[in-house]
Amino acid sequence: MNMYPESIPAVETCSGVTGEDIAALTADRTTPLLIKGATSHWPMVVAAKAGNLSQYLAAFDRGLPVMVFRAAAETEGRIFYDDTMSGFNFSRGAGDLMTTLRSLEQEVDRSEHCYVGSTPVDRHLPSLRAQNDLPIGELQPLVSLWFGNRTRVAAHFDLPENLACVVAGRRRFTLFPPEQVANLYPGPLDFNPAGQAISLVDFYKPDFARYPNYQKALEAAQVAEMEPGDVLYVPSMWWHQVESLDAVNMLVNYWWRSTPNWTGLPQDALMHALLSIGGLPKSQREAWGQLFEHFVVNRDAAAEAIPEHRRGLLADLDRNAAANLKKHLLEKLQRMP
């Protein structure tokens, strides 16, 4: 059994918070927050505690297939690459939501680790949110279902802000602030288990000779130990390792962006930067890094030095300005040899 390091402190924790207060409590917050018992009244949480989770959810299921990750016992549930990093240590295939959940409840195959991720609730379980929901109103979140048995997903980051609500089983989130990215040794951007770069370091068996700065990441880490009914706020861009600690684990999460969809994805800008800047000499990359720091990271300060009527791209974007900028970029890309 993996022993969790005692030196990692717990995230800030509060209790006695109702669902109606969560949006205000997390607005403009930039650090994680564990909210104990905020969804313990959900019927699905109550059903899970009573051992009736699949029976409760069956009434909402549309029977649509889900993507199921399966890993052998020797992986210890770590969803990761294979030994040569030419593939992965798990298989994936379509499965039935309710059949998969019932097999977990009955522990049909204890030698196999099973994980179902990012399943849209409104598509697969319509009307479930009528009885089990967080009133976060204008945020217009994407609500997803995650479940499985004992598995571990390596530290990764997400663009959206996140409210993670444990329905069944215990979960453990280990969180790292965004500035620890280099110390986490991320793997490939374009070849990874589930769409996001993940830390290459095995949290429970870190190779400090190969990854010497990982100790600095551990010194900055925080942990959230979660039970059914608990809610964790994960700010945008915070790295987080997620562990499911029981034979049946289920989580519902709420993702939302702080900017409109028409502003585009920052990941696309990163890819374009790798295309246009990544091959430059190091001194030039550093110079462009300073420009990004000035015009993007410190955008407000950069704009203040310019008369308001001449701020152009540094002014607040509206939908029309964004459309013009996208048109300009597309024309530039299409002219590339």
Of 231, 256, 281, the domain-final residue: 256
Residue 325 CB burial class (10 angstroms; 0-12, 13-18, ≥19): middle
Q: Is residue 262 helix, strand or coil?
A: helix
Dihedral sign, Cα of residue 264, residue 265, residue 268, residue 269: positive
pLDDT at 126: 96
pLDDT digits (tens, 9 = 90+) for 188-227: 999 999 889 999 999 999 999 999 999 999 999 999 999 9
Residue 2 within a domain: no
Do 228 and 168 contact (CB within 8 A), yes or no?
A: yes
Both 161 and 307 in one domain: the answer is no
Q: Where are the beta strands (DSSP E) in the chain?
A: 13-15, 33-36, 65-72, 78-79, 90-96, 112-120, 142-148, 152-156, 161-168, 171-176, 222-226, 231-234, 239-244, 249-256
CATH number of the domain enclosing 190: 2.60.120.10
Both 74 and 175 in one domain: the answer is yes
Residue 39 within a domain: yes
Residue 289 pLDDT exceeds 80? yes
- What integer is the mean pLDDT of 107-120? 87
Task: Please tell me the distance from the alpha carbon of residue 254 to that of residue 178, in angstroms, as a whole number.
Answer: 20
Residue 307 structural domain: 261-334
Both 144 and 219 in one domain: the answer is yes
pLDDT at 215: 97
Which residues on neighbouring strands pair with residue 42, listed in sequence order?
A: none
- Does 317 or 221 have the greater pLDDT score? 221
Both 280 and 325 in one domain: the answer is yes
pLDDT at 336: 84
Both 241 and 202 in one domain: the answer is yes
Q: Is residue 55 helix, strand or coil?
A: helix
Both 58 and 158 in one domain: the answer is yes
pLDDT digits (tens, 9 = 90+) for 227-271: 999 999 999 999 999 999 999 999 999 999 988 888 889 999 999
Residue 205 within a domain: yes
Both 166 and 226 in one domain: the answer is yes
pLDDT confidence of 179, banded at 50, 70, 90?
A: very high
Both 242 and 271 in one domain: the answer is no
Token output for 81: 């690459």
Do 201 and 207 contact (CB within 8 A), yes or no?
A: yes
- What integer is the mean pLDDT of 293-308? 95
* Mode of pairing for the β-strands spanning 33-36 and 13-15: parallel
Both 158 and 217 in one domain: the answer is yes
* Mode of pairing for the β-strands spanning 142-148 and 112-120: antiparallel
Both 101 and 221 in one domain: the answer is yes
Looking at every residue in the chain, the average pLDDT score rounds to 94
Residue 5 within a domain: no
Residue 3 within a domain: no
* Mode of pairing for the β-strands spanning 142-148 and 249-256: antiparallel
From 22-26, 114-118, 172-176, the region with the lowest mean pLDDT: 22-26
Of 201, 236, 256, the domain-final residue: 256
Task: Please tell me the distance from the alpha carbon of residue 332 to that of residue 336, in angstroms, as a whole number.
Answer: 7
Both 149 and 289 in one domain: the answer is no
Residue 7 within a domain: no
- What integer is the mean pLDDT of 272-284? 96
Residue 176 pLDDT exceeds 70? yes
Residue 1 pLDDT exceeds 80? no
Both 326 and 200 in one domain: the answer is no
Of 234, 256, 278, the domain-final residue: 256
From residue 174, give the alpha-carbon distance in Å to each of 2, 150, 152, 203, 216: 14, 16, 11, 10, 14
Residue 8 within a domain: no
Tokens 């019932």 -> residue:
102
How many domains is the chain built from?
2
